[in-house]
Amino acid sequence: MDTTQLLKGVLDLAVLAVVEDDDGYGYDVLRRLRAGGLTEVGDASVYGTLRRLYAAGALTSYVVPSDEGPHRKYYGITPMGRAQLERQTKDWASFSETVTALLAHHPQGAAS
Partner 1 sequence: MNDSLNTDTRPEVEAFVAEVRARLADLSEEEREELLGGLEADLSDQLADGTALGDPSSYAEELRGAAGLPVRARSSRLRRPSLPTAASLEEGLDRSREGFLALVQERAWTRQAWELLEAVRPAWWVLRAWVAVTLLDQVAGTWEYVTLVPTLAVPLLGPGLLLVAVVLSVLIGLGRLWPGSGPRRPLLARLVLVALNVVAVLAPLSFAVMTPVQGDPEWAGYSAGYRDGARQPGLRLDSDEVRNLFVYNANGRLVQGAQIFRGSGEPLTVRPQDAHTGRGDERLVGCGWLNGTTELFNVFPLAQRPQLRGSCLDEPGRRDPGGPLVDAEPPFAQVPPVTSPVPVEPVEPVAPVEPVAPTR
Binds partner 1 by CB under 8 A, chosen from 71, 82, 87, 90: 71
Q: Which is nearer to partner 1, 16 or 25 (CB)?
A: 25
- Reference 73, options 51, 98, 101, 104; nearest CA is 51
**Residue 52 is inside which H or E element, if any?**
helix 43-55
Q: Does the footprint of partner 1 cover residue 69 (CB under 8 A)?
A: yes
**Using rule CB under 8 A, residue 54 touches partner 1:** yes
Q: Tell me how far apart the alpha carbons of residues 93 and 104 are, in angstroms, rounded to a whole number.
A: 16
Using CB under 8 A, which of 66, 89, 94, 98 touches partner 1? 66
**Separation between Cα atoms, residue 33 and residue 13, nearest integer Å:** 11
In angstroms, the CA 97 to CA 41 distance is 23
Say if residues 33 and 18 touch (Cβ distance below 8 Å). Answer: yes
52 binds partner 1 (CB under 8 A): yes
**Three-state DSSP state, 58:** coil
Q: Pattern of binders to partner 1 over 11-50, x per CB under 8 A?
A: x-------------xxx--x-----------xxxxxxxx-
Q: How far is the CB of 112 from partner 1 (least distance, A)?
A: 29
Site residues, partner 1 (CB under 8 A) = 11, 25-27, 30, 42-49, 51-52, 54-55, 61, 63, 65-66, 68-73
